[in-house]
A and B are shown apart, each in its own frame.
Chain A
Amino acid sequence: MSGDAASMASSAPAAEMLAVTKRYRQRTALDGVDLRVERGEVFGLLGPNGAGKTTAVKVLLGLTRPSAGQVRLLGEPAGEPRARRRVGYLPELFRYQRWLTGREVLRLHAQLEGIPRAAREEQIEEALAGSDLAGRADDRVAGYSKGMQQRLGMAVALVGRPLLVVLDEPTTALDPLGRHELRGVIRGLRERGTTVILNSHQLSEVEQVCDRVAILQLGKVLAVGRLDMLLARAGVRVRVTGAEQLRSALAVFGEVSVDDPWTVVHGASEAEVPRIVELLVRGGARVYGVEVVHASLEERFRDLVGAPR
């Protein structure tokens, strides 16, 4: 790789998908997905089961070939082995060679990663130390509990000091303490400037660690952005009578709907409350109450995916 290409690659987004579609025989798993994950951010892929999150990640890692569209990983075309250099991956469903010890699994991945022999053992120790597995590193994986296998999985994802770590539903097998620890690990990665892509169907998980999220539903990106921006799509609710004629005038503040006895101006902010009230009162309506709504991501998510409240 020439110097220019190398510097381009190091400044390129961590992951990029352009109009990516993945069709299986009967169904479309990804439908024109555009995504861009910047270096150093913790990016959440959020969606109900079957939304296409795992397929998106597999396409990024070159494990699955897209039917259409362009995919780049750390500036390289996904699917090329070199694009996966310094990328860590913890799949949702995984298994390590049961007849190897934890340390041997890490060594195997360090070798496949191409870590030079001189640095290998040190990086294996580093990954082991971070995983709390040190005491059982020389036991065969066959004897590990589900939680220990998950810890090993995390250590494997982190061996080789990756620039990008992809975690697919990493908390499924973890107890509350394990989840807490995992959040600590993700924050630690962010501090080091490592990019993290976190797949989850649980809002609370994404809400706590992610800088930006994309919401996926039936293979399409419904919304993408900073969490606070997505959260900001709240609104102002006014308990009002005699406002029927004023709805079109209210629409300048946002989409209007009636949720009796409330009239809701979606997307309006607290700053707009005096002007909304003024418009209503001048128009002859009677205002009994005003409420600023900060929709939680949960509600927003449900709104977007149309799940029952």
Chain B
Amino acid sequence: MSILVVVGLTLREGIRRRLMLALFGLSLVAVVITAWGYSQLSHLPPTSSGPVSTDDIHIITSLLLILVMFMFSFVLALSAVFAAAPSVAGELESGEALVMLARPVSRASVLLGKWLGLAIVIVTYAVVASLLEFGVAYAATGYWPPHPIQAVAYLAGEGLVLLSLALLLSTRMSAVAAGIVAMLLFGLAWLAGVVGGIGAAFGDATIGQAGTVGHLLLPTDGLWRGAIYAIEPTSVLIAGSAAGPRVAAFPFYAPGPPSFLYLAWCVAWVAGVVALAVFSFARRDV
């Protein structure tokens, strides 16, 4: 019961403090701008080998989609971190939490309520922004990603991973510190993924393992790679496998989907981190 009260409060905060407006408003602007970009693709001048084929347009569109989704994933990461970090630490610092925690509610329900409320925002954003973007790309170029639902799910999953991490950090750190640490780790995880790709491309197992370790420690980049795969057209995958191992160094290419085992690990990771956050918050003196 009290968990739902906290979910409602978190959502209302997002609306009243214009987090939602900023998030959806600016993303809508991005969608409109990219829609114009896609529509220009059909007017590309012919090359020396003839007019630009539909296949080429689809490949360019998919690449643009991946880049836009990369921006969305970044916006999502930023929002998850900077909404989650103050929601515990900031309220403890300001004294807002004191009066709420003195009510007959468990710390667990307060924390889970916040997680759930922010998770709703993140998932909604991922679904609405991605589907709008896929929609305008389709309308302008006729390209529709092969696995749209998976793409949205991986993007949302990335946000949920960061949300959980930022909430955990904010039970013990100041809001600013928790936000910065979570963002840094997000950046490092992405870098580890790129470095791991380079390792794979040049057959260096040690460097390659950096990517694997990064994907396990903070599964944001692993999920992001899943989103890339879900957007890529089959022609890119065929060309990629024909190009040899070196293509793995390209950070906006994924040769295959994440394994079921890896996805299970991601779910366990989120559950574990949220459980740790509940444990940490419950033992925290306020």
**A interface residues with partner B (beta carbon < 8 Å):** 58, 61, 63-65, 81-85, 87, 89, 91, 93-97, 99-100, 108-109, 111-114, 153, 156
Which residues from chain A contact B100 at a C-beta distance below 8 Å?
Answer: 108-109, 112
Which residues from chain A contact B101 at a C-beta distance below 8 Å?
Answer: 63
With A65-B283, A99-B16, A114-B1 known as contacts, the answer to whether A109 contacts B99 (CB < 8 A) is yes
Mind listing 13 A-B residue pairs with CB under 8 Å? A58-B286, A65-B285, A83-B104, A85-B104, A89-B98, A93-B98, A97-B96, A99-B17, A109-B99, A112-B2, A112-B105, A113-B104, A114-B104
With A95-B94, A111-B2, A112-B2 known as contacts, the answer to whether A61 contacts B102 (CB < 8 A) is yes
Does B45 reach chain A (CB closer than 8 Å)? no
CA distance A108 to B13 in the complex (A): 13
Chain B residue nearest to A59 in the complex (CB): B285
With A63-B285, A111-B5, A114-B1 known as contacts, the answer to whether A96 contacts B96 (CB < 8 A) is yes
User: Which 6 A-B pairs rank lowest in CB-CB distance, beginning with the nearest?
Assistant: A112-B103, A99-B16, A89-B102, A64-B285, A85-B104, A84-B104
Which residues from chain B contact A81 at a C-beta distance below 8 Å?
Answer: 104-106
Instruction: Find out whether the CB atom of B286 lies under 8 angstroms from the CB atom of A97.
Output: no
Does B46 reach chain A (CB closer than 8 Å)? no
CA distance A156 to B100 in the complex (A): 10
With A58-B285, A108-B9 known as contacts, the answer to whether A63 contacts B98 (CB < 8 A) is yes
B95-122 interface bits toward A, Cβ cutoff 8 Å, 1 = contact, 0 = none:
1101111111110000000000000000
- Not counting A63-B102, A99-B16, a sample of 19 additional A-B residue pairs whose C-beta atoms are within 8 angstroms of each other reads A61-B102, A63-B98, A65-B283, A65-B285, A83-B104, A87-B102, A93-B95, A94-B96, A94-B98, A95-B95, A95-B96, A96-B96, A96-B99, A97-B9, A108-B9, A111-B2, A112-B5, A113-B104, A114-B104
With A64-B286, A99-B13 known as contacts, the answer to whether A91 contacts B103 (CB < 8 A) is no
With A65-B285, A81-B104, A99-B13 known as contacts, the answer to whether A156 contacts B1 (CB < 8 A) is no
CA distance A85 to B103 in the complex (A): 7
Min CB gap A92→B, angstroms: 9
CA distance A44 to B106 in the complex (A): 28
Min CB gap A173→B, angstroms: 13
Chain A residue nearest to B285 in the complex (CB): A64
Which residues from chain B contact A95 at a C-beta distance below 8 Å?
Answer: 94-96
Instruction: Find out whether the CB atom of B285 lies under 8 angstroms from the CB atom of A94.
Output: no
Which residues from chain A contact B2 at a C-beta distance below 8 Å?
Answer: 111-112, 114
Chain B residue nearest to A89 in the complex (CB): B102
CA distance A197 to B2 in the complex (A): 26
Min CB gap B20→A, angstroms: 13
Instruction: Find out whether the CB atom of B286 lies under 8 angstroms from the CB atom of A84.
Output: no
Instruction: Find out whether the CB atom of B104 lies under 8 angstroms from the CB atom of A156.
Output: no
Instruction: Find out whether the CB atom of B99 lies under 8 angstroms from the CB atom of A63.
Output: no
In B150-205, the 8 Å CB interface with A consists of none
Min CB gap A256→B, angstroms: 46
Min CB gap A90→B, angstroms: 8
Tell which of B16, B98, B285 touches A91, judged by Cβ atoms closer than 8 Å. B98
CA distance A262 to B264 in the complex (A): 85
CA distance A87 to B286 in the complex (A): 17
Most chain B C-beta atoms within 10 Å of own C-beta, residue among A82, A89, A96, A108 = A108
With A58-B285, A97-B13, A99-B16 known as contacts, the answer to whether A112 contacts B104 (CB < 8 A) is yes
Chain A residue nearest to B9 in the complex (CB): A108
Most chain B C-beta atoms within 10 Å of own C-beta, residue among A61, A99, A111 = A111
Instruction: Find out whether the CB atom of B13 lies under 8 angstroms from the CB atom of A84.
Output: no
Most chain A C-beta atoms within 10 Å of own C-beta, residue among B16, B100, B283, B285 = B285
Min CB gap A85→B, angstroms: 4
CA distance A156 to B99 in the complex (A): 9
Tell which of B5, B9, B103, B285 touches A84, judged by Cβ atoms closer than 8 Å. B103
CA distance A153 to B103 in the complex (A): 14
Chain B residue nearest to A91 in the complex (CB): B98
CA distance A35 to B66 in the complex (A): 65
Which residues from chain B contact A87 at a C-beta distance below 8 Å?
Answer: 102, 104
Which residues from chain A contact B105 at a C-beta distance below 8 Å?
Answer: 81, 112
Min CB gap A128→B, angstroms: 17
Instruction: Find out whether the CB atom of B1 lies under 8 angstroms from the CB atom of A94.
Output: no
Min CB gap B141→A, angstroms: 42
Chain A residue nearest to B110 in the complex (CB): A112
CA distance A114 to B106 in the complex (A): 13
Which residues from chain A contact B9 at a C-beta distance below 8 Å?
Answer: 97, 108
Which residues from chain A contact B16 at a C-beta distance below 8 Å?
Answer: 99-100
Which residues from chain A contact B283 at a C-beta distance below 8 Å?
Answer: 65
Min CB gap B118→A, angstroms: 16
CA distance A97 to B90 in the complex (A): 12
CA distance A89 to B104 in the complex (A): 12
CA distance A85 to B102 in the complex (A): 9
CA distance A108 to B105 in the complex (A): 12
In B1-41, the 8 Å CB interface with A consists of 1-2, 5, 9, 12-13, 16-17
Min CB gap B6→A, angstroms: 8
Chain A residue nearest to B103 in the complex (CB): A112
Which residues from chain B contact A153 at a C-beta distance below 8 Å?
Answer: 99
Most chain A C-beta atoms within 10 Å of own C-beta, residue among B9, B102, B106 = B102
CA distance A184 to B4 in the complex (A): 37
Instruction: Find out whether the CB atom of B286 lies under 8 angstroms from the CB atom of A113.
Output: no
CA distance A190 to B283 in the complex (A): 34
